[in-house]
Amino acid sequence: MSHIYQPVMLKELLLKGGQSSVEDISKSLLAHDQSQIEYYEQITKNMVGKVLTDNNGITERIKDGTRIKGFSVSGYQTLSSDEIKSLVDLCETKIKEFIDARGSDIWDHRRRSSGYISGTLQYEVLKRAKFRCELCGIMDADKALQVDHILPRNHGGTDEIINLQALCYSCNAMKRDRDDTDFRGVAESYDNREQGCIFCVVEEGRVTASNTLAYAIRDKFPVTELHTLIIPKRHIAGMFDLYQPELNAIHQLIKQIKDEILKVDKSVMGFNVGVNDGQVAGQTIFHCHFHLIPRREGDTNNPRGGVRGVIERKRIY
């Protein structure tokens, strides 16, 4: 975007006699940001326009736009110029009254959703998502992406990367207005532990890595050297009942441990990653856990089939 921002900034400086305020330059940049224009097109159609048209009957939809009822392109209108000026002044007054009443926090919801998240962290979220919307899959080249809290702040969500996701502006707007997920108790559930569960209480010395929602330990009965378990802290039996932030936390640790293993053991040439979910799938400890198993040349006579070996006769094909 610097290829656009630089000439826009220079143009603004030239038009203002060689110097300009940061605010004026920012406004010029905003006027050339198509993604922001598209974002506010969605706001216009789905929020403001909907209220004025469907709820209040003040405006009506026309091709490619909206108009006040009683107005037309031919110039006919039911209001006099004085009445129009009075209404415009009234709109300006209402805007000013609201801003004065709310003070500097009027846009706090926007700052909290993006501005309080560092640019570096936003980049990491987008990179993890491969610069695609994690809901609809559209690329950032086709529609602007935003960083969104999976578990909202007002329900206990944090700014950690494991609680952030990349959504296009359309999916993010729809999620805000239409997501009826009941988040009550989700944040508290992360603290759920079960007495007697060997993965709910682990000796601190065994933990090789951890984050807010998950931790890693070496398997006590390793399939290969450095065989590691990545475990959600919350007591939950199955992988399919994990929340998205927990999956993010586990994925983060799997990648971290993989990188560490490759650094300390140059003989590792690959990995098996697996989960036993349910008794018939071989699960014996009913606290969800992921296996990260390093693989080395010659550690088995024939590695072909890998995880297909859970059904031995189906491994080789």
Which of residues 120 and 252 earns the better pLDDT score? 252
- Please give the model's pTM, rounded to 2 decimal places: 0.59
CB atoms within 10 A of CB 158: 16
Smallest CA-to-CA distance from 292 within 238, 251, 264, 263 is with 251
Residue 30 has pLDDT above 70, yes or no: yes
Smallest CA-to-CA distance from 153 within 199, 186, 106, 195 is with 186
Residue 174 has pLDDT above 90, yes or no: no
Q: Which of 6-15, 81-90, 136-145, 187-196 has the lowest mean pLDDT?
A: 136-145
Residues facing 61 on adjacent strands: 66
Percent of the chain with pLDDT over 90: 38
Q: Where are the beta strands (DSSP E) in the chain?
A: 59-62, 65-68, 145-149, 164-168, 207-210, 214-218, 228-232, 268-275, 290-296
Q: What are the structural domains of the chain?
A: 2-77 (no CATH), 119-178 (no CATH), 204-314 (3.30.428.10)
